[in-house]
Amino acid sequence: MTKRIGIALIGMVVAALVLAGAGTIVLASIGSKRSAEESLVEQAEALGDLFGELTIPSGPGGDESVRQRLRRVSETISVQGIGILVMPPNFEEPIGEAPDGVILSDLDLEALARGESVSGSKGDLIWAAAGGTSVQGFPQALILTRAPDPILVPATRWFLLAAAGTVMLAVLVTIRLSRSLTGPVREASLAATRIAHGDLSSRVPDSDPRSGHEITELVDSINTMAGNLERSRSLERQFLLSVSHDLRTPLTSIRGYAEALVDGAAPDTAAVGSVIESESRRLERLVGDLLMLARLESTGFTYDTARHNAAEIVADTAHGFDRQAEERGIELSIRVPNDEPSILVDPDRYSQIVSNLLGNACRFADHTVAVTLWSQEGRVHLSVADDGPGIDDKDLDHVFERLYVAQHSPKLKESGSGLGLAIVSDLVDGMNGTVVARRSALGGAEFVVSFVVAR
């Protein structure tokens, strides 16, 4: 990538220099020719009157004498050639010779006869002609020729030197820039490779702020992804340990009592059967929770939603915990008005939400569990609160994560699967509701589930 960026940047610099240089040279060449042509016209006009006395004699040797004089003058005024043409009306062709490189067809003889000036160029030769009148009164033309100014040669040389210096500077800047741009990308690529091979502790070093906002976002995204993956692996291990413990405990109990029954060492078979039944139910709840989570994750899980009176569902479900609360010495307070508006829910799933929250509250409560239902601002709210140890502030944002194990977990009166709140969160989300966890006025934890009033 560094090589491609370097080649691209240097290529753009070279292309820009070539285009700019070629354009500059072409424009400068055109401008130089135009300037030289205008200067030559001014010279021709200034010298026209001076050379009016040079007539073209008709005698032998006359032409040679004029040419020699013109050659000496041209050397004196630094022009390449000088020619004089006299255009008497009784001659078909002008008398005299044009300078080397200029022929009569190049000249506008009629304009010159009117005393005008004309100019032009032929290849690298520039010419200018100024019309005038000879001492005999005949129209004549003074023709000057010159090569273009050699200013482009040194200019081109300096341009090439400057271009070479620019390219070298571009190479140095490109090397530094490409390293600063691709360095974090290489680091990110290496870190991503290590993460893909299982090293979830790998991180990309913080990038230089000068690398750009996009590079910083890339580094932050990879580091966040690695952190989430590492945390997920840790939570998965904690979850497996928790579930393994929850499975092993009742299984060990069931096996021990079953062996006692087989060996005939159990004094009270009814009591042993009751224990085995209780532990079996614990296993059944745990397996049910695991199956429910698996179903919630599947795309085929559906909800049979319809308008239902939340008060009836909450009251029926809550009263089902009366015996459990009585056995544990917990006062179960249920405040559910009968005139609460209807909500759009699956009644079985909504009842499961209430049941999971009440089961969780009964496990942690010391003396009181309060269930309250009310409507406010177009929503029906259900609150389940207890007076237990509550939830640590550091755990409030994570209590609904299915694999999360609280850092400050209170001691449970009864081992549970720890998946009930995760199931509550998924069921509430699936029916377009909301659920929040907070400290309750009773001193423990409070969970509030809200649904929009059905219209």
CATH for the stretch 200-299: 1.10.287.130
- Supply the pTM of this predicted model: 0.50
- Domain 200-299 identical in fold to domain 306-452: no
All residues at 6 or more sequence positions from 347 whose CB lies less than 8 Å from its CB, including other chains: 306, 308, 313
| pLDDT tens track for 294-321 | 777 766 678 889 999 999 999 999 988 8
Per the CB < 8 A criterion, the answer to whether 119 and 127 are in contact is yes
CATH for the stretch 2-153: 3.30.450
pLDDT recorded at residue 102: 83
**Which token pair is 369?**
């569990």
| pLDDT band of 358, cuts 50, 70, 90 | very high
Per the CB < 8 A criterion, the answer to whether 356 and 420 are in contact is yes
What CA dihedral angle connects 79, 85, 86 and 91, to 10 degrees? Answer: 180
| pLDDT tens track for 131-168 | 887 766 778 888 888 777 665 556 667 667 777 777 77
In a 3-state reduction of DSSP, which class is residue 431?
coil
Domain residue spans of the chain: 2-153, 200-299, 306-452
Exposed, middle or buried, 359 (CB in 10 Å: 0-12/13-18/19+)? middle
Exposed, middle or buried, 176 (CB in 10 Å: 0-12/13-18/19+)? exposed
| pLDDT tens track for 182-236 | 677 777 788 888 888 888 788 887 765 555 567 778 788 888 888 888 877 776 7
Exposed, middle or buried, 105 (CB in 10 Å: 0-12/13-18/19+)? exposed
438 or 271, which is more confident: 438
Mean pLDDT for 366-390 is 92
| pLDDT tens track for 222-231 | 888 888 888 7
Q: How far apart are CA 25 and CA 209, in angstroms?
A: 42
All residues at 6 or more sequence positions from 188 whose CB lies less than 8 Å from its CB, including other chains: 204, 218, 219, 222
CA–centroid distance for 281 within its chain:
54
**What's the whole-number average pLDDT of the chain?**
77
Q: Which of 96, 101, 68 is nearest to 83 (CA)?
A: 96
* Domain 306-452: top CATH class: alpha beta
